[in-house]
A = this chain, B = another copy of it.
Amino acid sequence: MLDGLFNPKVVAVIGATPKEGKVGNILLKNLKNFRGKVYAVNPKYDEILGFECYPSVEEIPDNVDLAVVAVPANVVPEVLESCGRKGVKNVVVITAGFKEAGNYALERRVAEICRKYGINMVGPNCLGIINTHNDLNATFGGVLPPKGDIAFLSQSGAFILAVLDWAKANDVGFSKIVSLGNKAVLDEADFMRFLAEDEETRVIMLYLEGVSDGRKFMEVAREVSKVKPVIAMKSGKTEAGAKAASSHTGSLAGSFVAYRTAFRQCGIVEAESIENLFEFSLVLRRIRKVDGGIAVVTNSGGPGVMASDAIEEFGLKMAKFESETIERLREFLPPMANVYNPVDVLGDADAERFGKALKVVEKDGNVGAIIAILTPTAQIDFSKASEFVLSVDKPVITCFMGGESVRSAVDVLKRHGIVNFLDPVKAVKSLKAASDYGRMVERLGVHKEEIDVKADVRPLLSGKRVLTAESFEVLKAYGIPVPPYGIAKTAEEALEIADRIGYPVAMKIVSPEILHKTDVGCVKLNVRREEVISMFFELVKRAEDYLKADVEGVLVQKMMPKGREVIVGMKRDPQFGPLLMFGMGGIYVEVFKDVSFRIAPIGREDALEMVKEVKAYRILKGVRGEKPSDINAIVDVILRVAKLSVDCEEIVEMDLNPVFVYERGCCVVDAKMVLR
């Protein structure tokens, strides 16, 4: 669908001008080397910089595949109408002054025109697009970067300028570059979908400030990740205002958490810095999974140990060599050499000894990837060493440590797609990214098991802002275990309910205005029969007289035996939808923030992983001779909460806190829902 955008035969620059320094002039200059026909559009000229010029795009005596627009913002709608009439299907609008400047109406109008004519529009307010493979530089940025197979989508035009400049100096090649701008029509997901099919692109690099449509993004990204890696950096992690949220889930499930969770669930590799963004992209061009442990081969002990340290630290594992490997290494390595992992071929090793060790290690069945480390000793011929590295078929990363003396060998490796690092720690970090990608992609295929609930809880939700005791009805309808309970309007009703469910009972005020009931003394636990009446009045008096709250009744609930406390929660993220949270209750959530997240819908595997991911999982499994908790029961609650969250968009926040978990089964003891 976007082929015409990146591979046009004819391009028109609308707003072209001979005036030096103007965007409409730079655009034309940047298209000088384009392997296609370029027209200028400007009513004042017949020709600009040697390009034929016409008063309007409609008068160009040719089919125009792509128009690049650099006219004042208020003229853009008119220009787009003209493009539409001419049948131009692809437009890049460079012009700023739309949404980003508060002109929402103008941007909407532009989008409507594009929809009317079926125009693929990039921007507005963008730097433009680049396709290195046909020398299409439809930007007002500087030089075309080297040809390569990394595609780069960026929401910041300035960042593209920096990258273009840096890429040229460091000889990093790109396939296509897109400045996303305001994303009025085409967004990151549209480009990702296109790039997944693009034969010139092996890796997609993404710089995001936000996504346009979270669900679409996830859907597309999940498919794209199966085909090629997407490496993304998201800026804007700081969560202003998250602390004011009313539930635990609300306070922990900020928008950056939602992004991070979405990335993981779609197989997107997250980069936390610009350097990581590049390094991961370069490494993932070739290495996309790590099957087995990591072997380190080095001519220098220190850096070998650094690499081993980092491997442990980042959660990868050092390969344990087969005994055959160790014997073979022993055959030719000097007695002082370390034949175990990390293999140290010693400082007096020449390239042959190093290369032989590489080949032996590669054959080991436990080795999934190799980090080859060399310091510039007098004995090492780096160009020979690089030949040995190139003959390795398993994933390999090098640390040829040095400057001038390693340069040409490193260039050879680079041409063959092997990435060199000065720093072993960074080499390991990138290998970890590749390993993560491999594991994420495997799990993208996991079967999604649906919970079968046929309840309509909408009537329970309508007209309310907050559900406290009423939440139990909703949960029950979704098959989530809750204690026997009733809501009493009078003291007599309370006694009736308590008699029916059995003693002792818990009594809690029901009021949409009182959310943290325990903190304000609106909960009575272990109430005996003779106390029910007096407690009822005490609670109501406290709530009405002291707290001046509207009381809807008193929840009378069976006292459940104490179990391990967990929290299951949900916050509806404006972009990605229901962000589920799980954690051990109380201090674990509050102090250690030991929680896990997923975006619903999820399958049973995902729910189980949520439980296993928290550190406190060890406690649930039973430590120090204690009995294990019923993990399946928790998983079931999570799945039902997920289903409820997907079914009922009215629920924007939900806290089941605490859920008591027993050796068999579990029970939601308190719950709260915030409605739209």
| Per-position binary interface string of chain A over residues 368-396, scored 1 when its CB falls under 8 Å from any chain B CB and 0 otherwise | 00000001111000000000000000000
> Do the beta carbons of B158 and A302 come within 8 Å of each other?
yes
- CB contacts (< 8 Å) of A303 on chain B: these are 156, 158-159, 162
- Interfacial residues of chain A within 287-305, with CB under 8 A of chain B in the complex: 299-303, 305
Contact yes or no, B406 A155, CB < 8 A:
no
Contacting B at CB under 8 A, from A566-595, are 587, 590-592, 594
Confirm or deny: A619 has a beta carbon within 8 angstroms of a beta carbon on chain B.
Answer: yes
Check B623–A425 contact: CB distance below 8 A: no
Residues of B within 8 A of A375 (CB): 158-159, 161-162
A464 to chain B, nearest CB (A): 27
Distance (whole angstroms) from the CB of A607 to the closest CB of chain B:
21
**CA–CA, A476 to B273, complex, Å?**
54
Once the chains bind, are B425 and A273 in contact (CB under 8 Å)?
A: yes
Say yes or no for A510: interface residue by CB 8 A criterion. Answer: no
**A448 in the interface (beta carbon within 8 A):** no
A85 proximal to B (CB < 8 A): no
Q: Which of A514-533 contact B (CB under 8 A)?
A: 518-519
Taking a contact as CB atoms under 8 Å apart, the answer to whether A273 and B158 are in contact is no
A330-351 vs B, CB cutoff 8 Å, 1 = contact: the mask equals 0000001000000000010000
Q: Which of A611-638 contact B (CB under 8 A)?
A: 615-616, 618-619, 623-625
Determine, out of A50-58, A233-241, A245-253, A551-559, the stretch whose residues face the partner at the interface.
Answer: A233-241
Q: Taking A403-B170, A404-B168, A618-B591 as contacts, is the C-beta distance between A274 and B425 under 8 angstroms? A: yes
Task: Identify the stretch in A113-121, A307-315, A665-673 within 8 Å (CB) of chain B at 4 or more residues.
Answer: A307-315
Chain B residues, Cβ within 8 Å of A587: 616, 619, 623
- Shortest distance between the CB of A174 and any CB in chain B (Å): 14
A side interface size, CB within 8 A = 73
Q: How far is the CA of A406 from the CA of B165 in the complex (A)?
A: 9
- CB nearest to A304 among chain B residues: B235
Q: Are B403 and A168 in contact (CB under 8 A)?
A: yes
Q: A209 at interface (Cβ–Cβ under 8 A)?
A: yes
User: If A158-B347, A273-B423 touch, does A142 touch B403 (CB 8 Å cutoff)?
Assistant: no
Task: Give A306's nearest chain B residue, CB to CB.
Answer: B235
Bound form: Cα–Cα A158–B224 in Å: 44
Which of chain B's residues has its CB closest to A405's CB? B165
Residues of B within 8 A of A209 (CB): 301-302, 305
Cβ of A549 under 8 Å from chain B: no
Hey, which chain B residues are within 8 Å of A336, CB to CB?
101
- Bound state CA distance, A157 and B347, in angstroms? 9
Given known A-B contacts A274-B422, A591-B618, A235 and B309 have beta carbons under 8 A apart:
yes
Chain B hits for A235, CB < 8 A:
302, 305-306, 309
Given contact pairs A236-B309, A591-B615, A592-B594, a sample of 19 additional A-B residue pairs in the complex whose CB atoms are under 8 Å apart: A21-B378, A101-B336, A140-B378, A157-B347, A158-B347, A158-B377, A161-B375, A161-B402, A162-B303, A166-B422, A169-B402, A169-B403, A209-B305, A233-B306, A237-B313, A274-B401, A274-B423, A275-B422, A518-B624
Taking Cβ atoms with an 8 Å cutoff, the residues of A that contact B are: 21, 26, 101, 140, 142, 155-159, 161-162, 165-170, 207, 209, 233, 235-238, 272-275, 299-303, 305-306, 308-310, 312-313, 336, 347, 375-378, 401-407, 422-426, 518-519, 587, 590-592, 594, 615-616, 618-619, 623-625
Q: Give 14 CB contacts A-B under 8 Å.
A: A142-B405, A156-B300, A162-B376, A165-B404, A168-B403, A207-B302, A235-B309, A237-B309, A273-B425, A275-B425, A519-B625, A587-B616, A591-B615, A592-B594
